[in-house]
Structure 1
Amino acid sequence: MRTQGEITAVLGPTNTGKTHLALTRMLGRSSGVMGLPLRLLARELYDRVVKAKGPGAAALITGEEKIVPKSARYFLCTVEAMPLDLRPAFLAIDEIQLAADPDRGHVFTDRLLHARGSEETMLLGASTMAPMLSRLVPDAQRVERERFSTLTYSGPKKIGKLPRRSAIVAFSAEDVYAIAELIRRQRGGAAVVMGALSPRTRNAQVELYQSGEVDYLIATDAIGMGLNMDVDHVAFAAFSKFDGHRRRRLRPDEIGQIAGRAGRFRSDGTFGETGDARVLDAETIAAVENHEFAPVSKLTWRNGALDFSSLEALRNSLARPSPAKGLERVRGALDEQVLETLSADAEVRGWTRAHGGLETLWDVCRIPDFRKTTVDEHARLSRQIYAYLMSREGVLPDAWLEGQLARVSGTAGDVAVLSQRLAHVRTWTYAANRPGWTRDPAHWQGRTREVEDALSDALHEALMTRFIDRRTSALVKGLREKADLAAGVDHRGEVTVEGHFVGRLKGLRFSADHAGGPLAQRAVTGAALKAVRPEINRRLGALARADAADLELDSDGYLVWQGERTGKLARSADRLNPDVVLVGGELGAPEAVSRAAQHLQRHVAGEISRYLGPLLRLKDHGGTGAGLDGLARGIAWRLVEAGGATPRRQLAADIAQLSAHERRQLRSAGVRIGEHGVFLPALLKPRAASLNALLCAVHSGDADQRFRPQPGRVCLPAPPERSETEIAAAGYLVCGSLAVRVDMLERLADAIRDARKSHPRSWFALDDTMMALLGLPMSGLEEIVRALGYTRVSKAAGNTPDMWAASRKARRSPPESARPPAPVDSASPFARLAELSLTPAAARPRPRASHKSRRKRANTSGKGARPA
């Protein structure tokens, strides 16, 4: 086109109305051509022109689609497909900064330098192009436009925390699909927009977003090129992409181009990071917010005046160096690579010598690689097409084309399969729209469009099925609009909303259907509240009236009613009187919840009284003084604090000072003072021991990991993380690394005592009876007797076994506990007793021993003594 009319460069950031201005100016002229960066954008503007001027006035020309009525006056095209033989009154090129793109840039540069309207030419793009335009198009009048709204950085956010009306940007189909799947689980669903989608699929997905059926849009950087949607926030899931040659980080101007899609007209927008994207640096944030980027210094260029006199002349003209500073010749262009590959084929070189053969070869080499294959594979397809075009018929055979379409026309399959089929169809759509390539262009253009539309609709449905939870999305939308949703609960506890199963009511807990993820649980909880709340209130009332036989306290501290856990023990100030909290029931009325909890509290108190009555009575005796005097009361208090059993060595000083009357009081209270332990035998019964250990663990706040000996086990490893008090509450005492049931420890003491009686020096040997008593091998039995204060005094010799006796330390003083005693509860009513200074045993007056007694002690002074 010859340069005519005024040239205006309209520059500025996104949301300045540049494209809208150009479209309006074009429609004010008698004719016009607009070159656009994307097929999707060309289709969007074509639809607007059709609406304004009628279908007869508008034409759409892209590499894959041609709608050109005879009366067409306004042409909406991709930049590559712009008709260069027209002389329109108005001509516009959008996103001229793409002239710097290493792959497509040479096409934009060619149009920028040579394409002109007879009355007006508009060059639309970023302000970064100002210096290059001043150099290359000096007669262009420059107009700077300000953004209509403010763009602000809002920082990183988790994907699940992104606000409604957000667009999440990723740079590969795999990432787009992964994020869309995550949004489906957390927010109900998302629409997907990628440059590879057909316009039909893209428009259907955008309509899902624009209509509000979904609140999130997952897209590639295709949205940065003029696609107008109501986006309030743009979140980057990454800042690097593969540009066809290498993986690189986005430049600040590219980030700004994409982020600028946030905010529509006068509505402000925000941008930030999400997912694994690293936080932007302050310099980049300032550049994006202020729309200040480094100017473009180089444009991609390729010679447009190609020489078709010979194959070598064509290759040489393509390789011609750039004529001006700032223009850099394109390198690695796909069409040139395919040309080089086919030029090595002797048969292809022969076909190029035919009339029009070289021009046809170049047209074939420029077929885009919609399938995203390797250069060699794309070159093989290109050669096959070229061979048909250079055959006697000179067109692509109908049967061959139909076979190619038949292989990819099936609409069954998942998103990946349908996307791949669409990519193949785009190749045949492109071929059908090339002049002279088919025998019946109208038929094949309609046929390829038919297959593409069917696949587009199938892909849209597949995208919705995979990335939109219709149930959750409808519930969220209904709740937001306060719609009256029908809900109910059947006899099995299944909750339905609008006929869809959304969860189950188990006991007093409502569990949302897990298939919908967290968002579904929140949505269906709100939607089903009307049906669930009355049922929960009814169950709370029945629970408050339940008989004791219908309630069970299980080994984990839960109260089970009608097969479901409805309550749980919780820590309180009094270990023997724990609190009870409901499991579920939050949706019930407060008074119904209170009555049910109080009933469960009374039931637990009854269970404790039934199985731990001796311990409760001992606690009462020690607290009030009724039934116990002096040291007996102190021992009772310490026994209660210890959980009902404690090593005798910890009470040895007090026991030594007990009077006969005090011993009888303790015996009457159910306390047994054994040789190694002080305990309540009644608490050793399985149910009592289990309940007592459970209460101790609940009080310590670690019920899930408590000490749980198996029924019948009398000796087992002592968990190092469990306290001696908790182990004692289960009826076991710690001996070294082992825990031994206290009654069996006393039976062992009896066996040792009997063995010592028969030895002149009160020594004893460990035997099979003792091992069988505890179910231990000899090594374990030895560990226990050492912990009890005995030591080996002679090793086996011949038929004589190892002999054991009380250690000197044991004879001098009681052995120290392997573990520190449990801390005293300062809030206990017995705490004061622990502070009392009791009279030491040595200070008590003792009756003078008789001469006979003194002589007896002298005769046995060398023998082993019974351990304290």
Structure 2
Amino acid sequence: MCAHSSGAIGFPLRLLAREVYDRVVAIKGEKQVALITGEQRIEPPDARYFLCTAEAMPLRRPGMGGGPEGDFAFVALDEAQLAADRERGHIFTDRLLHARGREETMLLGSATLEPLVRQLEPKAELVERPRFSTLTHIGARKLSRLPPRSAVVAFSAEQVYGVAEMLRRFRGGAAVVMGALSPETRNRQVDLFQSGEVDYIVATDAIGMGLNLDLNHVAFAGLTKFDGMRQRRLQPAEMAQIAGRAGRHQRDGTFGVLAGMSRDGGRGAPPPEFDDEEVYAIEEHRFAPLTRLYWREPEPRFDSIEVLIADLEAPPDHAALAAAPEAIDLAVLKRLHSDGITEAVKGAGSVRRFWEICQLPDFRSQGTDMHARFVSRLWADLSTGYLGADYVASRIAQLDNVQGDIDTLQGRIAAIRSWAYICQRPDWVLARDEMAARARAAEAKLSDALHARLTERFVNRRTTLLMKTAGQDASLLPITIGEDDAVLVEDERIGHLEGFRFVVDTSAGHEDRKMLLAAAEKALPGILAARATKLTDSGMDGVTIMDGALHWQGHAIASLDLREGKVMPALSPARDLAMLPAASREAFMAALEGWLTTRLEPLAPLEKLHEAARDPAAESEARAIVHTLIAGHGFARRDKSGLMHLPKELRPFLRRLGVTFGALDIFVPALLKPAPRQLLHMLGIDRRPLQSAMLPVIAEERNLPSGYRPAGEQAIRLDLAEKVFRAAHEARSKSKARKFFFDSALPVSIGLEPANYRRLMSAAGFRLQKAPALAEGAFGPPVPDKWEWQPSSRRAASGKSLSRGKPERGKRERSPQPKTVAEGNPFGALADLMR
């Protein structure tokens, strides 16, 4: 065409028209090339080359000159054998008979059309273009054993979805192509396959026309289809049209059926196989010639609706032609005429306009009844003139909604295609160009959304990527760690790391989990080894001790096994480290042990106690107290420690270990600090409640934290309680009297309330002597209270006097008073002797 001064080509699909339009634009430029379809019109004023659907071909172009048979130097009709199609055949027959170029006309189609072309155009020159590659039948193949770069052809939407779902499970996904898809969606799905993102495509028989794919194999999920009238077996020529998609140029292709699919496309029953004659016909490309082409009067009269119908149903006058079956446009015309809708349709202009409206394609595939209702409403709106721009815009806006599932989006695209067709008519819509642009924009948005839904449902990119590496060393998989510790294969997320544990992505189905885990088990050791090295180099930044284990990022990496006679526990690697290589794991565990040793330095006093308990040179009495202190995690009550059995000469031995002998407790002050108490709790050695800050005074609790002694309604740390007791004894020593004054400033400054500190003192054997109050009218400071120490008090020995009740009052000793003896009493003399 481009070798001529002008030209036009009619295609069976607007997808093909658009594809060739882009190629011609690249050669001739946009100003010289036009695209005309039912739903889109790009027509520059100086256009000389027209790419059209067959229905939209301009047969005459006044003003361009030329011979009597047309105004284009070149005219071509693609897939001319569609003249035998029941629905559209009469359109192709009309173009075959009447579309002519001044210089050259080409009819492109199957060799089955040759006898009819000879009858209709005896002078036509017939040129064959043989297929360079061969097609070979390879029988049935299971879905799980389909070779890569295969297409599966099904004959219903349900069958297409079912096969695509299975391919998603077994092979990672497939592109989907159906006649109900918009051209934009179909192109996007084809690109998904052509780019290699998926290795399989599932399609209806629409794949047999207008799609040039990089296919190696075509598998038929069934060999029957519904042709609009009945369920029938495919003709050999139709089989070859589909199977011929396999192989390109000089590369051979194969075809066969899909094993495990029943005759209706379900799974289970054996599928119908190609018979020998069909295989021979497809492989040798030998088919029975067409015997007739469908024809319908292309230029009917518009005198009345009855005359129009009669002309459209008139039989042809040539033996090679047959009357076309009733197409949807004629069926709608007759239905509306029988319903009385056409009573007001009078005059040639009105009849012509009514017929043009009836020719609106049934994009929704709703059938005659539903489509007739839509056409009737459209005629009612157009009978008085044009459709208003606001009305059309509102209809388009209602459809411009990308929410919904696949079927919903397909329905909206079909509906928007109807409005795109309406907006292309020159005398139907006001502001036609603007409305047509809105319809195209809405269709583009819906097509993008439909492509996204199809890809989301039928493509599992993770599985696809992993399947492509099947048979290779999985350690070569390009696995990387992204943000948030995501594990990526070629930027596709397959899971994430929690510490050193690989977690499969939650969106992965059950069938994908084994594959993802298998890939990770072989590919992650190197990454985890680098992760361990990085953590070691950081000084174990983020590692914590908790619940008897070492944690990192909230997950255990090693358990701490307590050992008898040792503060340092034994380290055991957690299961999360199992994927680390052995050498890396050993080095990492050694680094963890070194870090833990440094971390446990505050427990050095406790380790000294353990060493002393194992020292054979230590006396048994001293070792007994050491064991008691170890069991108490650094402290013990004095009355239960066995201190009464310890000779005084052994006390220096214990003091060298940091032991303090208090009034009520024996303890190691270094172990009462926050750091060692926290470590004992984190290691699981001390199970009592933890007071992490080791505050001087806390509220009294039923289960006191370690290192505290009750003091009324409060509790005080053991070393500070001992500080108070020592200050009291120093005050008693300085007084040199039985009763002494003691300043309460120290316990109050520590945080004890007066009533609670008095109970603490009482527990250590001190008794309060309240000073008398000032006499009424007296001035000056009150006399301070005095204290008296009673070391023999049971409370000092037992330490049980810190209940919330009142302390016991001591009994006052009284000297015996002589009794008066009555005079003359015989015991009087004895009483005198006793005195």
2:378 paired with 1:385: yes
Whole-angstrom distance in 1 between the partners of 2:405 and 2:41: 29
Q: Which amino acid letter does the alignment assign opposite residue 188 of structure 1?
A: G
Question: What root-mean-square deviation, in Å, do the aligned CA atoms of Structure 1 and Structure 2 show?
Answer: 3.6
Identity %: 47
Whole-angstrom distance in 2 between the partners of 1:429 and 1:271: 38
Alignment of 1:594-633 (within 5 A): none
Change in CA separation of 1:355 and 1:96 when aligned onto 2, cut-off 3 Å: closer
Q: Secondary structure at the match of 1:92?
A: strand
Q: What TM-score, normalized to structure 1?
A: 0.56
Whole-angstrom distance in 1 between the partners of 2:480 and 2:501: 21
Q: Which amino acid letter does the alignment assign opposite residue 20 of structure 2?
A: L
2:152 paired with 1:168: yes
2:239 paired with 1:255: yes
Residue in structure 2 matched with residue 67 of structure 1 by the alignment: 42
Structure 1 gap ranges (5+): 1-25, 537-561, 564-582, 593-868
Shift of the alpha carbon at 1:360? 0.6
Q: Which amino acid letter does the alignment assign opposite residue 315 of structure 1?
A: I
CA displacement, residues 154-206 of structure 1 (integer Å, 9 cap, x when unaligned): 11111121111111111222222222222112111211122222222122111
Q: Report if aligned partners of 1:488, 1:531 keep a CA contact under 8 Å in 2.
A: no
Residue in structure 2 matched with residue 608 of structure 1 by the alignment: none
Q: Which amino acid letter does the alignment assign opposite residue 424 of structure 2?
A: N
Whole-angstrom distance in 2 between the partners of 1:524 and 1:516: 12
Q: Which amino acid letter does the alignment assign opposite residue 430 of structure 1?
A: Y
Residue in structure 2 matched with residue 195 of structure 1 by the alignment: 179
Residue in structure 2 matched with residue 574 of structure 1 by the alignment: none
Residue in structure 2 matched with residue 296 of structure 1 by the alignment: 290
**Count of matched residue positions in the alignment of Structure 1 and Structure 2:** 524
Shift of the alpha carbon at 1:524? 5.4
Change in CA separation of 1:343 and 1:67 when aligned onto 2, cut-off 3 Å: same
* Residue of 55, 78, 93 corresponding to 1:94: 78
Structure 2 gap ranges (5+): 62-70, 262-270, 530-557, 560-574, 585-835
Residue in structure 2 matched with residue 782 of structure 1 by the alignment: none
Q: Report if aligned partners of 2:495, 2:502 keep a CA contact under 8 Å in 1.
A: no
Residue in structure 2 matched with residue 33 of structure 1 by the alignment: 8
Whole-angstrom distance in 1 between the partners of 2:25 and 2:520: 43
Shift of the alpha carbon at 1:521? 3.8
Q: Report if aligned partners of 2:151, 2:215 keep a CA contact under 8 Å in 1.
A: yes
Q: Report if aligned partners of 1:512, 1:524 keep a CA contact under 8 Å in 2.
A: no
Q: Which amino acid letter does the alignment assign opposite residue 480 of structure 2?
A: A
Shift of the alpha carbon at 1:477? 5.2
Change in CA separation of 1:273 and 1:533 when aligned onto 2, cut-off 3 Å: farther
Shift of the alpha carbon at 1:400? 2.4
* Residue of 132, 149, 152 corresponding to 2:116: 132
CA displacement, residues 815-839 of structure 1 (integer Å, 9 cap, x when unaligned): xxxxxxxxxxxxxxxxxxxxxxxxx
Change in CA separation of 1:354 and 1:183 when aligned onto 2, cut-off 3 Å: same
Q: Which amino acid letter does the alignment assign opposite residue 360 of structure 1?
A: R
Q: Report if aligned partners of 1:232, 1:263 keep a CA contact under 8 Å in 2.
A: yes
CA displacement, residues 240-296 of structure 1 (integer Å, 9 cap, x when unaligned): 111122221110100000100111112111111115142211111111000001111
Alignment of 1:710-859 (within 5 A): none
Shift of the alpha carbon at 1:383? 1.2
2:362 paired with 1:369: yes
* Residue of 309, 319, 328 corresponding to 1:325: 319
Residue in structure 2 matched with residue 180 of structure 1 by the alignment: 164
Alignment of 1:306-325 (within 5 A): 306-325=300-319
Shift of the alpha carbon at 1:399? 2.9
Q: Which amino acid letter does the alignment assign opposite residue 436 of structure 1?
A: D
Residue in structure 1 matched with residue 277 of structure 2 by the alignment: 283
Q: Report if aligned partners of 2:139, 2:257 keep a CA contact under 8 Å in 1.
A: yes
Whole-angstrom distance in 1 between the partners of 2:320 and 2:227: 22
* Residue of 328, 331, 335 corresponding to 1:337: 331
CA displacement, residues 78-137 of structure 1 (integer Å, 9 cap, x when unaligned): 111111123111111111111111111111111111111110010111111111111111
Q: Report if aligned partners of 2:525, 2:581 keep a CA contact under 8 Å in 1.
A: no
Q: Secondary structure at the match of 1:149?
A: coil
Shift of the alpha carbon at 1:58? 1.6
Q: Secondary structure at the match of 1:168?
A: strand
Change in CA separation of 1:222 and 1:489 when aligned onto 2, cut-off 3 Å: closer
Shift of the alpha carbon at 1:447? 1.0
* Residue of 392, 398, 403 corresponding to 1:407: 398
Change in CA separation of 1:151 and 1:56 when aligned onto 2, cut-off 3 Å: same
Q: Report if aligned partners of 1:181, 1:467 keep a CA contact under 8 Å in 2.
A: yes
Residue in structure 1 matched with residue 228 of structure 2 by the alignment: 244
Shift of the alpha carbon at 1:223? 1.6
Change in CA separation of 1:53 and 1:588 when aligned onto 2, cut-off 3 Å: same
Whole-angstrom distance in 2 between the partners of 1:321 and 1:268: 45
Shift of the alpha carbon at 1:53? 1.9
Change in CA separation of 1:468 and 1:311 when aligned onto 2, cut-off 3 Å: same
Q: Report if aligned partners of 1:489, 1:496 keep a CA contact under 8 Å in 2.
A: no
Q: Report if aligned partners of 1:495, 1:528 keep a CA contact under 8 Å in 2.
A: no
CA displacement, residues 458-487 of structure 1 (integer Å, 9 cap, x when unaligned): 111111111111333344457889553126
Q: Report if aligned partners of 1:411, 1:458 keep a CA contact under 8 Å in 2.
A: yes
Shift of the alpha carbon at 1:532? 5.1
Whole-angstrom distance in 2 between the partners of 1:408 and 1:451: 8
Change in CA separation of 1:235 and 1:308 when aligned onto 2, cut-off 3 Å: same
2:95 paired with 1:111: yes
Whole-angstrom distance in 1 between the partners of 2:94 and 2:182: 27
Shift of the alpha carbon at 1:443? 0.8
* Residue of 413, 418, 435 corresponding to 1:427: 418
Whole-angstrom distance in 2 between the partners of 1:156 and 1:39: 34
Q: Greater relative contact order: 1 or 2 (C-alpha under 8 angstroms, separation 6 or more)?
A: 1
CA displacement, residues 761-780 of structure 1 (integer Å, 9 cap, x when unaligned): xxxxxxxxxxxxxxxxxxxx
Alignment of 1:561-580 (within 5 A): none
Q: Secondary structure at the match of 2:463?
A: helix
Q: Secondary structure at the match of 1:343?
A: helix
* Residue of 130, 136, 148 corresponding to 1:152: 136
Change in CA separation of 1:353 and 1:488 when aligned onto 2, cut-off 3 Å: closer
Residue in structure 2 matched with residue 500 of structure 1 by the alignment: 493
Whole-angstrom distance in 1 between the partners of 2:348 and 2:79: 38
Q: Secondary structure at the match of 2:335?
A: helix
Q: Which amino acid letter does the alignment assign opposite residue 91 of structure 1?
A: V
Q: Secondary structure at the match of 1:339?
A: helix
Whole-angstrom distance in 1 between the partners of 2:233 and 2:240: 13
Q: Which amino acid letter does the alignment assign opposite residue 24 of structure 2?
A: V
Change in CA separation of 1:433 and 1:514 when aligned onto 2, cut-off 3 Å: closer
Q: Secondary structure at the match of 2:8?
A: strand
Q: Report if aligned partners of 2:494, 2:516 keep a CA contact under 8 Å in 1.
A: no
Q: Report if aligned partners of 1:34, 1:91 keep a CA contact under 8 Å in 2.
A: yes
Q: What TM-score, normalized to structure 2?
A: 0.58
Change in CA separation of 1:255 and 1:587 when aligned onto 2, cut-off 3 Å: farther
Whole-angstrom distance in 2 between the partners of 1:326 and 1:360: 32
Q: Report if aligned partners of 1:188, 1:516 keep a CA contact under 8 Å in 2.
A: no
Whole-angstrom distance in 1 between the partners of 2:13 and 2:148: 27
CA displacement, residues 736-793 of structure 1 (integer Å, 9 cap, x when unaligned): xxxxxxxxxxxxxxxxxxxxxxxxxxxxxxxxxxxxxxxxxxxxxxxxxxxxxxxxxx
Q: Report if aligned partners of 1:165, 1:232 keep a CA contact under 8 Å in 2.
A: yes
* Residue of 28, 47, 50 corresponding to 2:25: 50
* Residue of 287, 292, 305 corresponding to 2:299: 305
Q: Which amino acid letter does the alignment assign opposite residue 191 of structure 1?
A: A
Whole-angstrom distance in 2 between the partners of 1:233 and 1:52: 34
Q: Report if aligned partners of 1:230, 1:263 keep a CA contact under 8 Å in 2.
A: yes
Q: Secondary structure at the match of 1:142?
A: coil
Shift of the alpha carbon at 1:522? 3.1
Q: Which amino acid letter does the alignment assign opposite residue 154 of structure 2?
A: A
